[in-house]
């Protein structure tokens, strides 16, 4: 029989890639080189799980396990930044636990609105306008966008309930939850009628709490037999357990005491893996009540009178009930309310105690990368590992020589070259950035890392060189004209002085203007 209740799925996530930055130069009339105006790329979209009260099952993710967020837009000229990718919001039920494929708990989503970023989108690449500096006024390159995170995660739903009803199949758990609350679970006279956990809300005095009807357990449930292993996780969050024992079973080899011992053994064998902040007490140590069900049947009443002293001697609080006649249900509901109230007080006291926040600042000598020396068939290999170097490599367009030079500048400022020397690297050795194949290059520490000296900026650089040459030519022509004017003026003065000297030799008296010219020549 198919069911629409899914409480465990494996999902494959791919966050959005960041958009590439743009390399562009502003061109206007009378301004052939107006400066860089390439904009940044947009951020890739995140994939976020958010607790939605209206979602009760992981069925949508079961049908659609592959999720991908939108990528960021590319940057454009005229400082037009790329649009950010739209985040993918995935609604999940309250009580969803996010795990890695190895079983590590990454998040425990409890409470409406609680969210967890399961895969972060990639950063957008910077455009050449953002990369411009006093030394690099017109970069001819831009950074590439980072790829978004990819992950495979396991989602498990663990029911949020205060009390869990456990017991053998057909013990009357569904009938009991229907009698105590307004829930309408399926009820029939054959085993494993309940295929999904049922929740009901109960009010006892001023205490309001929820109870969960867990599918029947059998011997070996903690090892995967029957439906027990699939649904034992739904009792992990419960404050108390109620053993529902069938007083009218006709199966040979079964009796109430042995049924209780079997269920207790399965609960003890199941390990609770919730982290800090949840009810991480083992199931075998949770507060428990015993409900001897179906005492409305004569044989059931007689059997209950026989086994009750033994169970009370073992330390259990026992209630004789009937889900059909509602006998003993009031006492049972108030007893469950007492356990729930005590657990809530304990949690309130624990939350009232201020939690110590541990701050672990980054070490002073932490450079953000490490170098690991390795050896292969071709000789020594030096592997550079770190968030910054690996991210910078992903952002570099290796088809652009200037971009490669910019990467070299960044690595040198980070101290990678100095660290390689200290590790024992020599010119010509193989250096790998990142795990696996990574980015491999032959290290040459004597080469200049300046991006201006490595590669050309193409058409933009040629236009700039032509403009610079034109300015030099105009300046040289201006100085030539000034020199020619000065030479002409000097020749005119020379001729006038020669005429005056000739008149003096002839005995002529100089005029007032000529006398002033003589005095000026003497002063020079």
Whether 43 contacts 123, CB under 8 Å: yes
Is 295 labeled as ligand-binding? yes
Q: What is each CA distance from 125 to 46, 75, 76, 82, 131, in whole angstroms?
A: 17, 8, 12, 10, 10
* 172 appears as a binding residue in the annotation: yes
Q: Is 94 annotated as a binding residue?
A: no
Q: According to the model, what pLDDT value does residue 508 have? A: 52
Instruction: State residue 416's pLDDT score.
Output: 87
Any idea what DSSP says for residue 283?
G
For residues 422, 424, 428, 432, the Cα torsion angle rounded to the nearest 10 degrees is -80
Q: What is the pLDDT of residue 128?
A: 93
List of residues 6+ apart from 304 with CB closer than 8 A? 247, 256, 292, 295, 320
Asked if residue 316 belongs to a known ligand binding site, the reply is no
- Cα separation, 284 vs 280, in Å, equals 11
296 is in an annotated binding site: yes
State the pLDDT at residue 420. Answer: 87
Q: Is 174 assigned a ligand-binding role in the annotation?
A: yes
Which among 289, 6, 321 has a CA at the least distance from the CA of 164?
Answer: 289
Q: What's the pLDDT score for residue 13?
A: 96
- What does 343-371 look like in DSSP terms, one character per residue? HHHHHHHHHHSPPPPP--PPPTT--S-EE
Is 324 assigned a ligand-binding role in the annotation?
yes
Is 171 labeled as ligand-binding?
A: yes
Q: How far apart are CA 303 and CA 248, in angstroms?
A: 8
How many CB atoms neighbour CB 182 within 10 A?
9
Is position 168 annotated in a ligand binding site?
yes
Was 195 annotated as part of a binding site? yes
Taking the chain, what is the end-to-end CA distance rounded to the nearest angstrom?
Answer: 119
Is 318 annotated to bind a ligand? Reply is no
pLDDT at res. 84? 95
The response to whether 37 counts as a known ligand-binding position is: no
125 is in an annotated binding site: no
User: Is residue 214 annotated as involved in ligand binding?
Assistant: yes
**403 marked ligand binding residue:** no
Where is 157: in which H helix or E strand? strand 150-157
pLDDT at 183: 64
Is this model's pTM higher than 0.75 or not? Answer: no
Residue 169 assigned to a binding site: yes
77-110 pLDDT per residue, tens:
999 999 999 999 999 998 899 999 998 889 999 8
Residue bearing tokens 């209780």: 260
Q: Output the CA torsion sign for 363, 368, 374, 380.
A: negative
Phi, psi angles (nearest 5°) of residue 397: -90, 105
Q: What's the pLDDT at 141? A: 93
Q: Is 444 annotated as a binding residue?
A: no
Question: Is 46 labelled a binding residue?
Answer: no
Q: Is 192 annotated as a binding residue?
A: yes
Q: What is the pLDDT, as a whole number, of residue 497?
A: 83
How do strand 88-92 and strand 47-51 relate by DSSP bridges? parallel
Distance CA 170, CA 173 (A): 7
Q: Helix 387-394 to helix 401-414 angle, to the nearest 10 degrees?
A: 170
- Please state, in angstroms and rounded to a whole number, the distance separating the CA atoms of residues 490 and 482: 13
pLDDT of residue 123: 94
Q: What is the DSSP string of 92-139?
A: E-TTEEEE-TTS-EEEEE-STT-EEEEEPPPPPPPPHHHH--SS-SS-
Residue 366 counted as an annotated binding residue: no
Closest listed residue to residue 217, CA positions, set 238, 189, 194, 188: 194
CA gap 179, 185 in Å, rounded: 10
pLDDT per residue of the chain (524 residues) written in tens, 0 to 9: 344 567 789 999 999 999 999 999 888 887 777 889 999 999 999 999 999 989 888 889 999 999 999 999 999 999 999 999 999 999 999 889 999 999 888 999 988 999 999 999 999 999 999 999 888 888 999 999 999 999 999 998 887 888 888 887 777 788 888 888 876 765 545 444 445 677 888 888 888 988 888 775 555 444 444 444 556 777 788 888 888 888 877 666 677 888 788 888 877 777 766 554 455 677 778 888 998 888 888 888 888 888 888 888 888 899 998 888 888 899 999 999 999 998 888 888 877 777 787 888 877 777 888 888 888 777 788 888 988 999 999 999 988 889 988 988 888 888 888 888 888 888 878 888 888 776 666 666 644 443 332 333 334 444 455 656 666 777 777 778 778 878 888 887 888 888 888 878 776 554 544 444 434 433 33
């Amino acid at each position: 029989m198919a069911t629409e209740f899914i409480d465990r799925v494996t999902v494959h996530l791919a966050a959005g890639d960041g958009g590439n930055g743009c390399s562009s130069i502003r061109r206007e009339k009378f301004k052939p080189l107006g400066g860089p105006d390439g904009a940044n790329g947009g951020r890739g979209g995140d994939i976020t799980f958010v607790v939605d009260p209206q979602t009760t099952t992981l069925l949508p993710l079961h049908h659609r396990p592959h999720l991908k967020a939108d990528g960021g837009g590319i940057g454009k000229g005229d400082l037009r930044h790329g649009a950010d990718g739209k985040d993918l919001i995935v609604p999940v039920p309250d009580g969803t636990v996010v795990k890695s494929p190895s079983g590590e708990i990454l998040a425990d989503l409890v409470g409406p609105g609680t969210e967890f970023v399961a895969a972060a989108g990639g950063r957008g690449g910077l455009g050449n306008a953002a990369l411009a500096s006093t030394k690099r006024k017109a970069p001819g390159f831009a950074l590439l966008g980072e790829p978004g995170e990819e992950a495979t995660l396991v989602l498990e739903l663990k029911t949020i309930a205060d009390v869990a009803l456990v017991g053998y199949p057909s013990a009357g758990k569904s009938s009991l939850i229907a009698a105590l609350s307004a829930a309408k679970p399926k009820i029939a006279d054959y085993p494993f009628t309940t295929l999904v956990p049922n929740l009901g809300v109960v009010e006892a005095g001023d205490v309001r709490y929820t109870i969960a009807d867990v599918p029947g357990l059998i011997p070996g449930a903690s090892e995967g037999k029957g439906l027990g292993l699939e649904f034992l996780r739904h009792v992990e969050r419960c404050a108390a357990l109620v053993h529902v024992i069938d007083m009218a079973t006709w199966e040979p080899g079964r009796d109430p005491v042995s049924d209780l011992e079997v269920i207790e053994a399965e609960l003890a064998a199941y390990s609770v893996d919730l982290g800090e902040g949840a009810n991480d007490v083992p199931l075998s140590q949770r507060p428990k009540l015993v409900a001897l069900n179906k005492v409305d049947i004569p044989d059931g009443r007689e059997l209950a009178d026989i086994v009750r002293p033994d169970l009370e001697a073992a330390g259990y609080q026992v209630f004789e009930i009937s889900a059909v006649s509602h006998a003993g249900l009031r006492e049972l509901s108030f007893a469950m309310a007492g356990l729930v109230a005590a657990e809530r007080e304990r949690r309130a006291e624990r939350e009232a105690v201020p939690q110590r926040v541990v701050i672990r600042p980054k070490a002073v000598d932490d450079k953000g990368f490490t170098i690991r020396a390795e050896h292969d068939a071709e000789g020594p290999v030096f592997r550079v590992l770190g968030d910054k170097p690996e991210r910078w490599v992903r952002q570099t367009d290796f088809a652009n020589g200037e971009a490669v030079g910019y990467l070299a500048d960044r690595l040198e400022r980070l101290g990678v070259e100095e660290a390689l020397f200290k590790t024992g690297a020599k010119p010509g050795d193989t250096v790998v950035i990142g795990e696996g194949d990574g980015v491999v290059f032959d290290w040459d520490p004597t080469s200049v890392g300046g991006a201006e000296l490595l590669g050309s900026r193409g058409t933009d650089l040629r236009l700039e060189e032509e403009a610079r040459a034109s300015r030099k030519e105009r300046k040289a022509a201006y100085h030539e004209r000034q020199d020619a004017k000065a030479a002409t003026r000097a020749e005119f003065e020379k001729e006038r002085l020669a005429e005056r000297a000739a008149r003096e030799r002839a005995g002529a008296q100089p005029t007032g203007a000529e006398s002033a010219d003589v005095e000026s020549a003497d002063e020079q």
